[in-house]
Structure 1
Amino acid sequence: MSDQHVHTICLVGDTFAGFADDETVYTVTAFVSAVRRGRFDDPRPLILWAGQGLDDYTCGYVTNVLRTRGIADRVIIQDAGLRPVPRHEAHKHREENVLVADLRRLTAEEYQARLRLHGNNELLVDHQTGQHVQGMVVVEAARQMFLAVTERYHASARPGTDWYYVINRMDVAFESFLFPIDAGIEYTETSRDLTRDDRMDFTARVRIVQAGRRAATAQIGFSAFDSAALAPKERRQARRALAATLTGRDAETARHGRLAAAPAGRA
């Protein structure tokens, strides 16, 4: 079948309306409206490539609209079918906030996953302008990637320990715009120290790639601690920080109070 006899478009969630300014890209709302107006009633097969911001619930809605219009039999939906990593690996309570999907190990140091953006992701609901995906999504995806890799392939080998993760450093270079379509996550462990029972140390490189180009590269150094050993230290630091803050504010309040009580014309 020749290309001129096939209608191909990309479908994205309504969150990415800024990206849908081309006749080959539709948001879900715009696509449903076009279907109901008869825009795709011609006999050409229609291929829908699923971009970001879609989920099973939304795809089911689109399928029903196509069926109601009577054209579902000649529409092919190329659904990415991404499988997000589980809650304990992403360290996210809500499934829509998980950015890493289809995680797999390639070699002893190399791992691969797909970027997965739900339309109601916490980083998108209050800020999404222009056509590209905001940079904080890249930062969070890199964070979730090192957590998921370490939980699945290292922490799981040490059962009975609740691990507490600490970022020691993170350097992110943004190299090109990232758009709300298919993108990969490449993870390389550049060093690891697993010699201690109560601690694991790593450095890693995370790359976000799309359409054969790097969108961003993150260099990360992080540690995983036995939470039973780290919690008391964190608690002591929290109390010291709170005490110093309250003491400083008490002094500031007292100083300003004296100033307010001073006679007019005197400092």
Structure 2
Amino acid sequence: MSAQSRTVLLVGDRFAGFAVHEGVFTVSQFREQLPLLGAVRAGGEHTLVRAGQGVTAPEWAALRETAARHGLQESLEFHFPHPALSPRQEVHKHQSQNTLIADLRQEQAGRFVADLRLHADNELLLDHQTGQHVQGMVAVEAARQMFLAVSERYYANRYPDRSYYYVIDSMNTAFENFLFPLDATVEFLTLRAETDDPERLSFAADISVHQAGRRAALTTVTYTAFEPALIESKETKRARFAVDHTVSAPARVLVAA
């Protein structure tokens, strides 16, 4: 880059509260700035445009097209990662916008790392997003998806002809720092992995979310993977008990005032 250079960060419009900082724009704000940048491009400034969380691929492509229309190809460098999302059979999500785990890899024995990817239309953002930080339930759900993805890819693959139903035995999350809509990683540290019995796999793990050199959240979880037939039988029996108990209990009568 030349001496005259700067970096700006883009976040999805849903994170407008975070765009109060210098050098941070929502997609819509930056789109409005592009004609102004075109008017002053003769100044020779080079700008690296980096995507944070909540920026979609179609939005990114539209920004690049708009920049080209204003003759900004040389002065703007767009950096948009294309993470390899964990497939739905690993994170147990049907819709890709709800997948939080990307570029999952094994760093060393028992330690796995992934990038946090937060889509603008993630189910956890649709009804509540205030302030500058990402709500804590995102870190909790990221931990849940991380243990599913790690278990499916690196442990349950020992039995490729079987599928598993995962049950959380205990889960505790400590929030240590705010998580913001920027790059973040999710780390999985295996505390226990009992996989000799193919009908019942048992695990314990520490799962942490990291951003800007700090740990944002730490989740300690124990969970068990069962064959679907076994858990479905127990689930059906207990569901039947709950139904019978409910219909046999006296009904609450609401009297209009």
2: CA distance between counterparts of 1:232 and 1:63?
Answer: 54
2: CA distance between counterparts of 1:192 and 1:22?
Answer: 44
1:40/1:89 CA distance change after superposition, 3 Å: farther
- Paired amino acid for 1:190: L
Q: Is the Cα contact below 8 Å between 2:34 and 2:70 reproduced in 1?
A: yes
2: CA distance between counterparts of 1:125 and 1:40?
Answer: 37
Q: State TM-score, norm by structure 1.
A: 0.91
* 1:1-267 matched pairs, under 5 angstroms: 1=1, 5-38=4-37, 41-42=40-41, 43-248=44-249, 251-253=250-252
Q: Which runs of 5 or more residues in structure 2 are unaligned?
A: none
Please state how far the C-alpha of 1:107 moved relative to its aligned partner: 1.9
Please state how far the C-alpha of 1:40 moved relative to its aligned partner: 6.8
Q: Secondary structure at the match of 2:206?
A: strand
Q: Is the Cα contact below 8 Å between 2:38 and 2:71 reproduced in 1?
A: no
Q: Deviations over 1:134-191 (max 9, x none)?
A: 0000000000000000011112221221200000000000000000000011110101
Q: CA RMSD in A?
A: 1.6
Please state how far the C-alpha of 1:80 moved relative to its aligned partner: 2.6
Q: Matched residue pairs, number? A: 253
Q: Is the Cα contact below 8 Å between 1:52 and 1:118 reproduced in 2?
A: yes
Which has the higher mean CA deviation after the structures are superposed, 32-41 or 99-108?
32-41
Q: Is the Cα contact below 8 Å between 2:2 and 2:46 reproduced in 1?
A: no
Aligned identity (percent) is 42
Q: Where has structure 1 moved over 2 Å in runs of 4 or more?
A: 36-43
1: CA distance between counterparts of 2:216 and 2:60?
Answer: 27
Please state how far the C-alpha of 1:39 moved relative to its aligned partner: 6.7
1:173/1:8 CA distance change after superposition, 3 Å: same
Q: State TM-score, norm by structure 2.
A: 0.94
1: CA distance between counterparts of 2:68 and 2:2?
Answer: 25
Which has the higher mean CA deviation after the structures are superposed, 191-200 or 143-152?
191-200
Larger radius of gyration: 1
